[in-house]
A and B are shown apart, each in its own frame.
Chain A
Amino acid sequence: MIDVDIENRLGDFRLAVAFRAEAPVVGLFGRSGSGKTSVVNAFAGVNRPQRGHIIVNGETLFDSVHGIDLPPERRRLGYVFQDDLLFPHMSVEGNLLYGFHRSSAAARFIDRDHVVDLLGLRLLLHRFPGGLSGGERQRVAIGRALLAQPRLLLMDEPLASLDVLRQNEVLRYIEQLRDDLRIPIVYVSHSVGEITRLADTVVLLADGKSIAVGEVDEVMGRMELRPHTGRYEAGAVIETTVAAHDLDDGLATLRFDGGELLVPNVEALIGERVRVRIRARDVALATERPRHSSVLNVLQGSVVSIANEDGPIVDVRVRIGSGSLVARITRRSRVDLGLAEGAQVYALLKAVSIDRRSVGYA
């Protein structure tokens, strides 16, 4: 549980950020210069807000009213920077254990060997940072932060200095530690893809202010926030379990309580949980189950709500099982089909519209 309400003035820049979040991963999203790093630095104790409080899991790190301001070394927050910032004069092992040795034995809940294996660092232990690839360095930096036994992980654009291949590599490791170690994460990014793939709750920042807080798709899909979210592809996330792999066709069957999805590009093993992000514009609606169609995924559901009814394009939210999908269709189609709240519809989804970036581990 994170409870933040801080104000700070840095020259002309005014920071006023407030949010509460229960989620395991909170995304801080905003353009560059929106104050993301200032917020993270306030968490870490690197800069001190003029007013407000920061409470993490019931522990007050900062409170201007009660004069509480823990120094960085006593906040127990693992800070992962955009640049890995490994200590160049220490081996990988030395880096990993820097914080570990400073943590009190009683507070240790993250095991050294577990982190080494989780992040695939076993073979790197005796190397020095200078000889590692960007992805390896960032993994060491994450391991180092974890082994300091933090109550919260702060990640400030941890993928920004990596190429796409390395980004995917590190992203997978972050997903694994989120699920394995159950450590809350505040994840800062200006990348919609990273935020939607990792975060459950998003805090939208603009000009130093938190202008929206909520579920990722709810916040990012809101039309009036468009100037701040940019070209966000409205959509919805469905949590599923891998039920089967068809190796001949290269398709995986993902099962959830609303039905099944056939999806390509799934690396997860049978039984593993994955979340699939489905863009609203990739979903078509029909009032009858279509036959003789190339569309593989047809899901039955009912219309929950219709947004932007007056524009030429409307967003129709369809309940399927306990989850929901959003379909972005023209107003004309809606009128032609006579869609209204409560209507029974079939959501059609082309399997090829789901790419590798849309599938992540749950």
Chain B
Amino acid sequence: MGGDEAGIILLSLKVALASVVFSLPVAIFFAYVLARAEFPGKTLLDAVVHLPLVLPPVVVGFALLLVFGKQGLLGRWLNEWFGIVFAFRWTGAALASAIMGFPLMVRAIRLSIAAIDRRLETVARTLGGSRAWVFVSITLPLAVPGIITGTLLSFARSLGEFGATITFVSNIPGETETLPLAIYTLVQTPGGDARALRLSAIAVILSIAALAVSEWLTRRAGRSAKP
């Protein structure tokens, strides 16, 4: 039976936050590469990035198990050398969420980078900015709306992640039992409907709150760009 409700919510938020924080830099990198670079194999990379969006989540979870499980290709190595374990831990739930939300995040950021006039970056270069500095001072700030949107989408996706998580890290109360998993468990339990309903209501509130925060952030970012 699921842990207490506060614990479930906190765990869900922790998992979602961790997944967003760690996937954001990676997503920005891939978004930039996909928006700006031309190279052979770009279509393939694009497809791979989008894969979690089209695959059944269970398949992603199973793949994670094969790669990051205790006996997995990377999992064993990570455990032996760094003591990092994903299998049946909340970190694994965060990894699963991050991967499922990754395409959404990359998409949003990529669109907003692609919408930036490249000549702004060119001007910045002629003004003495190195490639890296131009990225930090021009590209990133102008992509902020997309970064906010992508972060929110991925965060919301993470709060709702079910299939990949349950396949990869199972449903362990207090460790990997996030909101959706807890609701699922309660629905399967006789007399659990009331609590399931309560948790569902909380899920709705969390999602709306996230939406409101992102809306507020986007508007603030927009205002500083065009007062």
Contacts and interface: CB of A to CB of B under 8 A. Distances in A.
* Same assembly: yes
**Chain B interface secondary structure, helix, strand, loop or mixed?**
helix
A195 interface: no
Interface string B114-145: 00010110111111111001000110011000
Interface in A51-76: 71-76
29 contacts: A45-B125, A45-B126, A71-B130, A73-B125, A73-B126, A73-B127, A73-B128, A73-B129, A73-B130, A76-B128, A77-B126, A79-B122, A79-B123, A81-B123, A85-B117, A85-B119, A88-B225, A89-B142, A89-B224, A89-B225, A98-B127, A98-B129, A98-B137, A99-B128, A103-B128, A128-B225, A128-B226, A131-B227, A148-B128
A87 B124 contact: yes
Contacts of B119: 81, 83, 85
B111 to A, nearest CB: 17
B119 to A, nearest CB: 5
Contacts of B130: 71, 73
B225 A145 contact: no
B126 A79 contact: yes
A72 B142 CA distance: 21
B128 A85 contact: no
Given A79-B126, A87-B124, A148-B126, 17 more contacts: A72-B125, A73-B126, A73-B127, A76-B128, A77-B126, A78-B126, A79-B123, A81-B119, A88-B142, A89-B142, A89-B224, A89-B225, A102-B127, A130-B225, A131-B227, A145-B126, A145-B127
B120 A87 contact: yes
Contacts of A130: 225-227
Nearest to A91: B227
Nearest to A88: B225
A131 B130 CA distance: 29
B128 A128 contact: no
Interface in A163-195: none
Nearest to A84: B123
Contacts of B142: 88-89
Contacts of A128: 225-227
Interface residues of B, number: 21
B126 A44 contact: yes
A144 B142 CA distance: 19
Contacts of B128: 73-74, 76, 99, 102-103, 148
Given A85-B117, A88-B225, A148 B141 contact: no
Interface in B136-158: 137-138, 141-142
Interface string A92-125: 0000001100110000000000000000000000
A145 B138 CA distance: 16
**Chain A interface residue number, banded:** 20 to 34
B118 to A, nearest CB: 10
A46 interface: yes
A74 B130 CA distance: 9
Nearest to A80: B123
B220 to A, nearest CB: 12
Contacts of A99: 127-129
Nearest to A72: B125
A122 B123 CA distance: 23
Contact of A72 (B120, B126, B133, B137): B126
Contacts of A78: 126-127
A144 B119 CA distance: 15
- Most chain A CB within 10 A, of B117, B126, B225, is at B126
B147 to A, nearest CB: 13
Of the listed residues B127, B133, B141, the one surrounded by the most CB atoms of chain A closer than 10 A to its CB is B127
Q: What are the 9 A-B residue pairs with the smallest beta carbon separation, nearest first? A: A99-B127, A102-B128, A130-B226, A72-B125, A79-B126, A148-B127, A89-B225, A89-B141, A73-B128
Nearest to A41: B122
A74 B142 CA distance: 24
Contacts of A87: 120, 124, 138
Contacts of A88: 142, 225-226
B129 to A, nearest CB: 6
Nearest to A101: B128
Contacts of A76: 128
A71 B125 contact: yes
Contacts of A72: 122, 125-126
B127 to A, nearest CB: 3
